[in-house]
Structure 1
Amino acid sequence: MSASQEASPHAPAQGGLRIAAIVPCHNEEVTIGKVVADLKAAVPGMTVYVYDNNSTDRTAEVALAAGAVLRRETFKGKGNVVRRAFADIDADVYVTIDGDDTYEAADLPAMIQLLLEGPYDHVLGVRQDTGETSSYRPGHEFGNRMFNRLTGWLFKSEVTDMLSGYRVFSRRFVKSFPAISKQFEIETELTVHMMALRLPCAEHPVGFRDRPPGSESKLSTFKDGFRILGLLAQLLRHERPTAFYGALTLLFALLSLALGLPVVVEFFQTGLVPRLPTAILAAALMGLAFLMGGVGLILDGLRRARRESARLHYLNLEPPVPTPAAQVPVPGVTTRPAAGGHGIG
């Protein structure tokens, strides 16, 4: 292992605060050197961790040469990298940013300053195009807006750019985050965790640009989109079981009534039940409706207990308390709080 890998990973940055930047990478040799250099220039003293996720090019060598602390995660997927990094790294402030050089590192001091001044537990970098044409791939901008609105509707909160990979976290956010996702849906899980625990959060505009020539995107519009929809369904089932199972209860009850009412009417008119299979099916569907309703009520009680436990664990962790020297001076920065701090109803 090289000397760069053995460099002190917990050296204090601004005013004694330990700031760690986590950069997941898979085949990013074209961009990772610039990303590491830009991050270290933006926040001197910050430790930059590059997690090599099964790269087949020179990503690791370039990252080491740029001064990053190199870590490796063999389980493929950004979610696996974030879970490993959040478990392994001990810091006061955490930064996540992609290694593709699409985000503006110069915006990071303002995001950290906003986190400390809030104080907030999560600052989301809201992407703003820096070029004349949109930096979003075809379909991604529409999909992002759709997921923002869908998540806001499902979880009774608002978020402007839930798929952004540029974020700043407090230690108590990171150490209370379960990190279940495996791949690019990790951003959705981070957003819903913030909403579920009603954590104080803010948004900050950040520059966003196209990948440089020779750098290839790992995203798949439809595959990743369906994966995010699947995660949203799982999170809805876990975080709002009364709504999820209530919808199933209503569906089964309506089907039961639609099938069973004609049978009941015919019985009262003739005294006969000629469509016995339909009657049995209607009764079974109504039984399922009551079962789904009961499951929803039980899981809602378990959800409340789980959320109370997570909240108490979160409160046991200290927020970053900046000294005057810890403030990152950024003149003329304008920020706005996000509505994402509102919780799930």
Structure 2
Amino acid sequence: MAAAALAGAALLTPPPAGAAPVRTAAVSGHGRTRAAMDAAVGAGVPGVLARARDADGAWSGSAGVADMRTGRPPGPADRFRAGSISKTFVATVVLQLEHEGRLSVDDTVEKWLPGVVRGNGNDGRKVTLRQLLGHTSGIFEYAHDPAVHGRGEEYLEHRYDTWEPRQLVAVAMKHAPYFAPGTGWRYANTNYVLAAMVVERATGHPYGTEARRRIVEPLGLRSTVLPGTDSGLPAPAGRAYTAFPEDPGPTDVTEIDPSLFWAAGDLVTSAADLDRFYSALLRGGLLPPAQLREMTTVRPLTGVGSFTGYGLGLARYRTSCGKELWGHDGSVPGTQVMAFATRAAERLLVTYFNTNVFLLTPRAGDVVDAEFC
């Protein structure tokens, strides 16, 4: 579940985060996790960063390099693009607005965005916000249209292009839906572009303003940024690498205009901030019980790897040893991130690869298995 198929996503009081000391793998018992990280680097991933938390506190580890030019290793404070992990933020904001009585997830898209979802069999009168958040709308994935220049080296020529949300939706509307609303499941970033547009219509504020006011600032996520069209990564940060069929060697794609992903995948953050966010969310610090139940009520999935269900911006994941986890993953050019925790967030892992090369990203699941199994 990636942010895009490119180049080769009234607050309750949150629980305190606590500043746990960083521990070594030998002391903390995360030796298998470290071995899986080393194996990923051995297979070709330039650099791996991980943060795990359990009853003994937090552990941070790294392998390989954050920057292939300087050889600097990944650091625990490094920022990175989180891709589709952005979707959990969007869903949280929408469900907060529902709790406040400002919208319902059973509202139609047409109610909030009249005339936007129309044409080629698309009909916003038949699509609900719940279907957007759960990827059951059937709406086409705009990133699959050649107009977004997301394939091969063509991506490099257009990675600084700026897109407006309505433009992204208009690209999707050139295509018929995959299926009638509510009759199937298919992951599409278009759903979350539309959901964030609804947030803007319901609040009268930019989506980024609402996410900062409702999540980033209350939780003290000091490394988390909603970048707009800013192409760089704020320090500290490493580099991001991808590869193309035309050139299998590592290509630096750190600087991009993230408006191509917008709310569906533009988040910049750190491992510690994702730890704090998912811990607060799963423990009830961001949503009241009714909305958290909606978020964690999943549509069962088959044929999607280790993902066994998808709720509203939150995925259910099963490790190779049968452990059930909750969270999300994310990928944009040069980045693969996984953030998963037990249901009550007693244990959690965030792992970041500074590449999204298809043959290497399954190694991130190996790291998750190593930590939880």
TM-score by length of 2: 0.24
> Which structure: greater helix fraction?
1
User: Highest Rg: 1 or 2?
Assistant: 1
> Which structure: greater strand fraction?
2
